[in-house]
Amino acid sequence: MNTSHLKGRRALVTGSLQGIGLAIAESLAAEGASVILHGLATPEQIDVARKRVLAAGASDVEVFTHNLRDEKQVEQLMADVLDHGALDILVNNAGIQKTAPIAEVDATLWNDIIAINLSAAFHTMRAALPGMMARGFGRVVNIASVHGLVASANKAPYVSAKFGLVGLSRVAALEAANAGSRDTGGVTVNCICPGWTETSLIEPQILARAAAQGGDRDAGVRDLLREKQPSQRMSRPEEIGALVAWLCHPVAHNITGAAIPIDGGWTSQ
């Protein structure tokens, strides 16, 4: 396969200044794309992320810091992105999570998780898809979760958002399915549904398990994985990045509406 199949393409990855999002940005950069980073971070963190993506091979790197809790800022993000040129690839990766029983989830927490994990993706897709469909090429990859396919206790807002993201992606995939052609690459919309992945997002859950294991973090990780993920192995962010880059390849023109688990067998149980 051509290892620069995204040369000349422009990609936006939300929530890409660290973790999975940054790994995705690096994977797209390695295939020749110009990359638009996004997230809330310090100037130092932004500088580090930008240098990493340039080092990975990006032809250009832009950075935006709009707050996705606010739909007006999401709309402004997309206006700013599109003012700089056409958008070929959209990766909705930004997300937050907090675990609590339903009775302890207040309206602010619910609204924040739904806004960032689901509504923001709707608004970015609403802005990006018309141009993709008109040009006959586009890739939308939404980073959902294994919790977009199965539920877990104490995660009502997160599970609701991720199930919604999978459904939203399938609707968009149907609406864009006949745009373009095999030659142009078509327009596809897919979800990736990671299980346990080595990121800061799950660190509180690891530490909680470690505390129950006498403070042993490795024992906490094993305990966490044993409950759900049969492979007993966490995924690395760069593995998710590699799948995103592959879904953006022209050969993936007929893979659309999929929700692809990277979960070590979790959803096979």
* CA–CA gap between residue 99 and residue 15 (Å, rounded): 20
Q: Which band of pLDDT confidence, cut at 50, 70 and 90, is reported for residue 1?
A: very low
Residue 200's nearest CA partner among 55, 95, 54 is: 95
pLDDT of residue 241: 98
**Beta bridge mates, 187:** 138
Q: What is the dihedral of CA 259, 202, 37, 133, to 10 degrees?
A: 10
| pLDDT score for 2 | 44
pLDDT of 27 over the 80 cut: yes
pLDDT score, position 4: 84
Rounded to two decimals, what is the model's pTM?
0.94
Spatial separation of the C-alpha atoms in residues 221 and 27, rounded to whole Å: 27
d(CA 261, CA 192): 6
Distance of CA 159 to the CA centre of its chain: 15
pLDDT, position 81 = 98
Higher pLDDT among residues 1 and 139, named by residue: 139
Local confidence band at 203 (pLDDT 50, 70, 90 cut-offs): confident
Active-site position among 64, 158, 163, 266: 158
List the domains of the chain with CATH numbers: 10-195+236-255 (3.40.50.720), 198-234 (no CATH)
The pLDDT of 2-16, averaged and rounded, is 91
In the residue annotation, 106 being an active-site residue is answered as no
pLDDT digits (tens, 9 = 90+) for 155-185: 999 999 999 999 999 999 999 999 999 999 9
